[in-house]
Structure 1
Amino acid sequence: MIYTVTFNPALDYVIAVDHFVPGQINRTKEETMVCGGKGINVSTLLANLGYESTALGFVAGFTGEEIVRRCQKAGFHSDFIRVKEGLSRINVKMKSDEETEINGMGPRITEKNVALLFEQLDELKAEDVLVLSGSIPSSIGNGIYKEIMERLSGRGIQIVVDAEKHLLMEVLPLHPFLIKPNNHELEAMLDRTLTTREELLEGAKELQARGARNVLVSMAGDGALLLTENGEIYKEGVCRGTVINSVGAGDSMVAGFLAGYLKTGDYGYALKLGTASGGATAFSYGIGSREKIMELFAQLNEK
């Protein structure tokens, strides 16, 4: 089973506004609401590809109940812990001449809530996959990813980590199965500019030397590269299409990669399916559909 953890899930209110002007009344031309949060995005894409997963994390209030309902509608299981104080977030994602985001705070998560999550994670078995992704709410210590990985160490659980600099660097010695920084995040982690693919590959090798088993680096319009635990190097180009949505594209790449690897055990296939999945979301207003993913997968195979 695949499990995803989203510590601070949200309802994303995604709107489009022609030429947004601060200080004036602006009217939307398009609007939609979707479940937000990196782990939820991973579970949604996996469901679109026909893979079961269970979303874990914390929800609160009427917005939390709506997140649970929408997860069920999207086709995957959830086992969120209900938090008493506060509300699950509503995030506003505005598409205009520039993309603008306003993210809510989320509920207050207590030590007791975290202990309940640990109890859930203790039920994971060998060969299960756990995806840890996204930021950590202020009410939880920043060492939570490390605590989880230490707790599950030695049990044969494949752990994927997709998080910002300090969260990711802290867990490298615990040998995550996969990490997925983009090129800018890789630069931030190593505190230097990485301009060429060769430099990015050297950066990936440094993270692998620090403990990561497989390093997947997404490079926006320049494609992606993968350094495997066997020392193999795979490169993939980009899909053809018009980018209309950047939200969830990286999460979709992680999900597509996992689906491809679990199906075949082939890293090259996994990278191709991950690239197609990321592209499908980037070319859609929500998380990419199976039809769009397979269309782009076939496109990549033409190259």
Structure 2
Amino acid sequence: MIYTVTMNPALDYVVDLPHFNIGDVNRVENEHIFFGGKGINVACVLKELGFESTCLGFTAGFTGQELQRGLKEELKLMSQMIQVNQGMTRINMKIHSQQETEINGLGPIVEKDDFEKLLQQIKNMNDEDILVLSGSVPSSLSQNVYCDLLEVIANRKIKTIVDATGQLLLDTLIYHPFLIKPNNHELAELFHTEIKNIEDIEKYARKLQDMGARNVLISMAKDGALLIDENGVKHLQGVCRGEVKNSVGAGDSMVAGFIAGYLSRLDYHETLKLATAAGGATAFSNGLATQAKIYELLKQL
């Protein structure tokens, strides 16, 4: 089984309007509500690619109840989300106008007993399972929580995937995650440097591998993606052709594509192609990638 952990899921309220003017009344042309969170996005795209997963994480309040309902009834995902007593599942507003603007909520207050329940869920995983840790952590939790989760399965055969930024990601490398997926800008921030070319990207990707990551996937927007696989082999892949409509969830879709490729026993080059097509399918859609769109784009690669 694949388990995706979304510590701080959200109801994403997405609006389209021709011009967003600060200080004025803005009337939207289109609006949608999505059940959001990086791990949830991964689970959705995995389902499109034929792989079931179980969503873990925390919800709270009436928004949390709605998110739990949506996961089961609308997205048809398996869920073992933990409903906590304080705070509320956040509402994130995403404004599509001249530029994309996001306003993100705080999230629930997760107490020690709540976190212990999640730890127990992780302990109950089987050795051949896959654990995906992705996204931010509620402010009520320590920034070491990913390490706390990885510690309880450190001597197991569970494959772990970490899609996070900054120190949250770096701290997990001692646990040798099977895959990490920073983008090129996040890669530069990790090493407090300026990245000028593909050689720099490869250099710092290999540093992350030296620090403990098995596979390092770097998404580079219009420049494609670079993978340093666990054997040290470099793979480069250009982007698919299409009109970019949405940047939300493209990276999560890449993670899902990589997992699906690996579980389908594709080699790493073909796995990178599937990951790239999945990321592009989301970028070229108003929502997350569909199976049909992924395989349409895969033919380009």
TM-score, with normalisation over the residues of structure 2?
A: 0.98
| Matching residue of 1:20 | 20
| Matching residue of 2:121 | 120
The one-letter code of the counterpart of 1:209 is D
The one-letter code of the counterpart of 2:138 is P
SS of 2:174's partner is helix
1:243-281 CA distance string (max 9 Å, x none): 010001000000111101111241111111100000000
Tell me how far apart the structure 2 counterparts of residues 29 and 292 of structure 1 sit (CA, whole Å): 25
1:54-78 CA distance string (max 9 Å, x none): 0000011221121112212213201
Q: CA deviation at 1:289?
A: 0.7
SS of 2:116's partner is helix
Q: Are the equivalent residues in 2 in contact too, given 1:176–1:212 (CA < 8 A)?
A: yes
| Matching residue of 2:6 | 6
| Matching residue of 1:227 | 228
Tell me how far apart the structure 2 counterparts of residues 2 and 111 of structure 1 sit (CA, whole Å): 25
**Bigger mean CA offset, 263-272 vs 242-251:** 263-272
1:210-254 CA distance string (max 9 Å, x none): 111000000000000100111111111000001010001000000
| Matching residue of 2:58 | 58
Tell me how far apart the structure 2 counterparts of residues 5 and 123 of structure 1 sit (CA, whole Å): 14
The one-letter code of the counterpart of 1:59 is T
Tell me how far apart the structure 2 counterparts of residues 22 and 48 of structure 1 sit (CA, whole Å): 38
| Matching residue of 2:206 | 205
Tell me how far apart the structure 2 counterparts of residues 121 and 155 of structure 1 sit (CA, whole Å): 11
The one-letter code of the counterpart of 1:38 is K
Identity of aligned residues (%): 53
Alignment of structure 1 residues 177-256 onto 2, 5 Å: 177-256=178-257
Q: Please, which runs of 5 or more residues in structure 1 have no aligned partner?
A: none
The one-letter code of the counterpart of 2:5 is V
SS of 2:299's partner is helix
Runs of 4+ deviating beyond 2 Å = none
1:136-184 CA distance string (max 9 Å, x none): 1110000001111111111100000000111111111110000001000
SS of 2:133's partner is strand
| Matching residue of 1:163 | 164
Alignment of structure 1 residues 132-171 onto 2, 5 Å: 132-171=133-172
| Matching residue of 1:264 | 265
Q: Are the equivalent residues in 2 in contact too, given 1:47–1:75 (CA < 8 A)?
A: no
Q: Are the equivalent residues in 2 in contact too, given 1:261–1:269 (CA < 8 A)?
A: no
Q: Are the equivalent residues in 2 in contact too, given 1:8–1:37 (CA < 8 A)?
A: yes
Tell me how far apart the structure 2 counterparts of residues 76 and 239 of structure 1 sit (CA, whole Å): 28
SS of 1:20's partner is coil
The one-letter code of the counterpart of 1:89 is R
Q: CA deviation at 1:196?
A: 1.0
1:35 aligns with 2:24: no
The one-letter code of the counterpart of 2:218 is V
Tell me how far apart the structure 2 counterparts of residues 198 and 106 of structure 1 sit (CA, whole Å): 39
| Matching residue of 1:285 | 286
Tell me how far apart the structure 2 counterparts of residues 274 and 75 of structure 1 sit (CA, whole Å): 22
The one-letter code of the counterpart of 1:298 is K
SS of 2:226's partner is strand
The one-letter code of the counterpart of 1:79 is Q
TM-score, with normalisation over the residues of structure 1?
A: 0.98
Tell me how far apart the structure 2 counterparts of residues 272 and 127 of structure 1 sit (CA, whole Å): 24
The one-letter code of the counterpart of 2:146 is Y
SS of 1:152's partner is coil
Aligned length: 300
Q: Are the equivalent residues in 2 in contact too, given 1:260–1:273 (CA < 8 A)?
A: yes
Q: CA deviation at 1:92?
A: 0.4
The one-letter code of the counterpart of 1:13 is Y
SS of 1:244's partner is coil
The one-letter code of the counterpart of 1:182 is N
Q: Are the equivalent residues in 2 in contact too, given 1:47–1:74 (CA < 8 A)?
A: no
Q: CA deviation at 1:287?
A: 0.6
SS of 1:215's partner is strand
Tell me how far apart the structure 2 counterparts of residues 213 and 33 of structure 1 sit (CA, whole Å): 36
Tell me how far apart the structure 2 counterparts of residues 17 and 44 of structure 1 sit (CA, whole Å): 27
